[in-house]
Amino acid sequence: MFPSYYHSFGITKDNLVFIESPWRLNIFKLFKTFWNSESIDTAMVWKENVKTRFYLVSLQSGAIHPVVYQSDGFFAFHHINAYEEDGQVVVDVAGYDRVDVLFEMFKNPTGDIQGQNLGSATTRRYILPLNVEDAVSDQNLVTVQDSKAKAFLNGSVDGKPRIFCTPHHLTDGWVELPRINYRFNGEKFNYFYGVYASKGSGWTGIDTLTKVNVRNNSSICWSEEGMVPFEPIFVASPNSQDEDDGVILSTLLDKMEETQATLLILNAKDMQEVARVKFNTAGPFTPSFHGQWANESDKTHMF
Ligand SMILES: [Fe+2]
């Protein structure tokens, strides 16, 4: 009666990756929510002391991988990427150690709850070893080079080996709306792009676009006083070879001009501005989350 909330999933060449977090929908409360016309978050609960579990589902057979992968409880709206390397599944996400307080922050954006909630939000890498038959309990099963992620055999659950994972943090703090060069979806990759809040206030204080190098944890940023950027969308150059040969598209909200919307175009290599297009809107231009770009020949989403 407490299903996990899912916002996105990862996909490698062989597996889907689902992350079951302690953030659960209380079905009993859900009826009350509908009855009282309350918002759905009033039916969500953070299950204290419940671990987060990773499920690998075979794309070929639909079977769940017979190893129980767990970590300390965390939640992620957005997967960054996932891929397989050296017999392990690498899972990169924008994670929160707690998420229930995030919703308190949305309701009370000027409150002092912000710091405590986002202090534990980072983009992070979990690495899940696929074959654990020969594992011994004090051995870190992660062999992917240059990663601080760990995975240890830790008993069993219902007769299945239990692997406990700790992450490698890709950024020191909160970064959200992660996007990659989608040609590298399910593949080993170098870069993701996202937004963050330089003053540490998370969703309510987004002011910077960032390009993160996941190999060495370095980053390049773009920001402009008074502008609020949204999801950075990577568009590859025609016939590009390099992963970051292309542009980043982002919409900007102008804090001082509520009827002005800007499409910002950055060079993805160095995050320097290439061009911008300004639009005057009929009414106030409001914040957005996700974006979408489609070439003339692409099929687009129907929303
Ligand atoms: Fe989302």
What is the SS3 assignment for 103? Answer: helix
**Binding site feature residues for Fe cation:** 7, 78, 290
- Residue 199 burial (10 A CB sphere; 0-12, 13-18, 19+): exposed
The pLDDT of residue 99: 78
Ligand 1 center–CA 138 separation, angstroms: 37
pLDDT in tens, 4-32: 999 999 999 999 999 999 999 999 999 99
The pLDDT of residue 109: 60
pLDDT in tens, 46-64: 998 999 999 999 999 999 9
Sequence-distant (6+) residues with CB within 8 A of 60 are 14
Q: pLDDT tier at 137 (50, 70, 90 boundaries)?
A: confident
**Binding site feature residues:** 7, 78, 290
Ligand 1 center–CA 218 separation, angstroms: 24
Ligand 1 center–CA 131 separation, angstroms: 32
pLDDT in tens, 193-236: 999 999 877 888 899 999 999 999 999 999 999 999 999 999 99
Dihedrals φ, ψ of 100, to 5°? -65, -35
Ligand 1 center–CA 290 separation, angstroms: 6
Q: CA-CA distance, 217 to 191, in Å (whole number)?
A: 10
Ligand 1 center–CA 156 separation, angstroms: 34
Closest alpha carbon to 23 in 115, 105, 103, 120: 103
Ligand 1 center–CA 60 separation, angstroms: 27
pLDDT in tens, 102-124: 666 666 666 554 445 555 789 99
Amino acid symbol at 153? L
